[in-house]
A and B are shown apart, each in its own frame.
Chain A
Amino acid sequence: MSGAVYQVHWTPGSDHLVGVCHCGAQHVADDPIDVWAWLLAHPAGHGDAAGDDERAPREPALTAAG
């Protein structure tokens, strides 16, 4: 895939992160694990237009580390 630029905007005044895929689709999340997982899953879950797949906010994700 060429020209892939993923963007994540933290909406001022909120806790929301808006992920913008290189295909134009957008996704609102409340933690960065979620937003990166969605972006990198392209095209899965991206639909055919921007603004799809807006899910309910979740608690911040716990991830294993070591």
Chain B
Amino acid sequence: MQISTAIAREQWYVAAYSSEVGEGLFARTVCGEPLVLYRTADGRAVALADRCVHRRFPLSQSNRVGDDIVCGYHGFTYDCSGACVAVPGQTRIPRTARVRAYPVVEQDTFVWVWIGDPERARMEDVPRAPWLAQDGWTTVCGMEPLAARHSLLLDNLMDLSHETYLHGGYIGTPEVASTPINTEADEDAGIVRVSRHMDDAACPPFYSESTGLSGRITRWQDIEFRPPCLYQLHSRVAPVGVLPEPDGTDLHAFHVEVVYALTPETENSTHDFWAVARDFALGDERVSSFLAENNRTVVLQDVACLNTLEQILQTDGAAYQELSINIDTGGLAARRMMARLVDAPAQATVVT
């Protein structure tokens, strides 16, 4: 199976953080489709095609009048459903004067858009990341542009053994790469899970500085990837030997939910949304600043690595072979689910 550039359509993707969408006209390309996003007077997020039907001028570089957008070139005016409601110099509005409106769901601090036939969009299919906007959690987040294909970022996130080598001194310790993983492909739910439970591991600065733990730790990494966009790492750290209670309560551990949204910008570039939610040091600005700065540094280490790989893939073309070993078991499962979405859009539950 290859490091594909194919984009799965008929899917929900994160287009923006809710905080990015406001009164202004905000441009972002998702899956090769230029969008303009804004918020109506009643607070609803809207996503329209960012091209006037007349001469393709970007609506994001145009003017907003009430909830309408007036094209900055010749004044074609669109309402928030994408319908053209006025054209210059004449009363007849051409029947085809409409820009595409994208189904939108705003949830868990994300603005999700449906890339595909709007008739096939099911709001209830948008996956959840509730920690990002939930009492009892404090979240830091960001987004880094990645000049590399979606599949390279996915490969990176599904195999965390790279933390030992690429992120040493931040989140990597020797135990990450040396601990075996368990992998599960849940075909009906459309989820790939990868678990790595380290019983006795060094505590990397990311966790020692934020939690105050100073000795060896029990460190669990439980990944859930919901193709094509949402990746969640359920991270649990605690002093060595401290485990959840039999009833499932886990008051003596620190929990961090690391959430990524992997949204293709084009076939060869990706929006790398990242968020870190924690259930400790709530509201502590020092801890928030530390985690935000450190996680961004880690993400930028990945970005530099993957940008390099993208260039190499484009230069080398198909004339190479890759080698997969045990650490790649989850990445290969994720690739397979992605390939199935590309081949059979919106049928994530079909099993071969």
Q: A2-B188, A6-B187, A36-B336 are in contact. Are A60 and B182 (CB under 8 A)?
A: no
CB pair A8 B351 closer than 8 Å: no
CB pair A1 B351 closer than 8 Å: yes
User: Can you pick out 15 interface pairs between chain A and chain B where the beta carbons lie within 8 Å of each other?
Assistant: A1-B351, A2-B188, A4-B186, A4-B351, A6-B185, A6-B333, A7-B184, A8-B184, A9-B182, A10-B326, A33-B324, A65-B318, A65-B320, A65-B321, A66-B2
Question: In the bound complex, what is the Cα–Cα distance between A49 and B336 (angstroms)?
Answer: 26
| A-B CB proximity, top 10 nearest | A66-B318, A10-B180, A4-B187, A32-B329, A8-B183, A1-B351, A65-B322, A6-B185, A65-B2, A62-B321
> Looking across the interface, which residue of chain A has its beta carbon closest to that of B194?
A8
Query: How many residues in A have their beta carbons less than 8 Å from beta carbons of B?
Result: 27
CB pair A35 B323 closer than 8 Å: no
CB distance from A38 to the nearest CB of B (A): 13
B164-208 toward A: CB 8 Å interface, digit per residue (1/0)? 000000000000000011111111100000000000000000000
Q: Give chain A residues whose Cβ lies under 8 Å from the Cβ of B90.
A: none
CB pair A32 B184 closer than 8 Å: no
CB distance from A29 to the nearest CB of B (A): 10
Partner of B332, one of A9, A33, A64: A33
The verdict on B328 contacting chain A, using a C-beta distance below 8 Å, is yes
**How many residue pairs between the two chains, A and B, have CB atoms under 8 Å in the bound complex?**
87
Given A10-B326, A62-B322, A65-B3, 7 more A-B residue pairs with CB atoms under 8 Å apart are A7-B185, A10-B182, A10-B329, A31-B325, A63-B324, A64-B318, A65-B2
CB pair A36 B187 closer than 8 Å: no
A33-64 toward B: CB 8 Å interface, digit per residue (1/0)? 10110001000000000000000000011111
Q: Give chain A residues whose Cβ lies under 8 Å from the Cβ of B41.
A: none
Q: Give chain A residues whose Cβ lies under 8 Å from the Cβ of B326.
A: 10, 15, 17, 31-32
CB distance from A39 to the nearest CB of B (A): 8
> Looking across the interface, which residue of chain A has its beta carbon closest to that of B1?
A63
Question: In the bound complex, what is the Cα–Cα distance between A34 and B188 (angstroms)?
Answer: 23
CB distance from A49 to the nearest CB of B (A): 22
CB distance from B55 to the nearest CB of A (A): 38
Question: In the bound complex, what is the Cα–Cα distance between A45 and B180 (angstroms)?
Answer: 26
The verdict on B94 contacting chain A, using a C-beta distance below 8 Å, is no
Query: How many residues in B have their beta carbons less than 8 Å from beta carbons of A?
Result: 29
The verdict on B352 contacting chain A, using a C-beta distance below 8 Å, is yes
> Looking across the interface, which residue of chain A has its beta carbon closest to that of B185?
A6
> Looking across the interface, which residue of chain B has its beta carbon closest to that of A14?
B180
Q: A31-B324, A63-B1, A66-B2 are in contact. Are A8 and B329 (CB under 8 A)?
A: yes
Partner of B324, one of A3, A4, A60: A60
Question: In the bound complex, what is the Cα–Cα distance between A49 and B326 (angstroms)?
Answer: 25
Q: Give chain B residues whose Cβ lies under 8 Å from the Cβ of A36.
A: 329, 332-333, 336
Q: Give chain B residues whose Cβ lies under 8 Å from the Cβ of A1.
A: 187, 351
CB distance from A58 to the nearest CB of B (A): 12
Q: Give chain A residues whose Cβ lies under 8 Å from the Cβ of B241.
A: none
The verdict on B317 contacting chain A, using a C-beta distance below 8 Å, is yes
Question: In the bound complex, what is the Cα–Cα distance between A34 and B329 (angstroms)?
Answer: 10
Q: Give chain A residues whose Cβ lies under 8 Å from the Cβ of B352.
A: 40
Q: Which of B143-176 contact A (CB under 8 A)?
A: none
Q: Give chain A residues whose Cβ lies under 8 Å from the Cβ of B185.
A: 5-7
CB pair A66 B320 closer than 8 Å: yes
Q: Give chain B residues whose Cβ lies under 8 Å from the Cβ of A40.
A: 336, 352
> Looking across the interface, which residue of chain B has its beta carbon closest to that of A12?
B180
Q: Give chain B residues whose Cβ lies under 8 Å from the Cβ of A35.
A: 329
Q: Give chain B residues whose Cβ lies under 8 Å from the Cβ of A6.
A: 184-185, 187, 333
> Looking across the interface, which residue of chain A has its beta carbon closest to that of B3?
A65
> Looking across the interface, which residue of chain B has its beta carbon closest to that of A18?
B182
Question: In the bound complex, what is the Cα–Cα distance between A40 and B182 (angstroms)?
Answer: 17
Question: In the bound complex, what is the Cα–Cα distance between A24 and B2 (angstroms)?
Answer: 29
Partner of B188, one of A4, A7, A65: A4
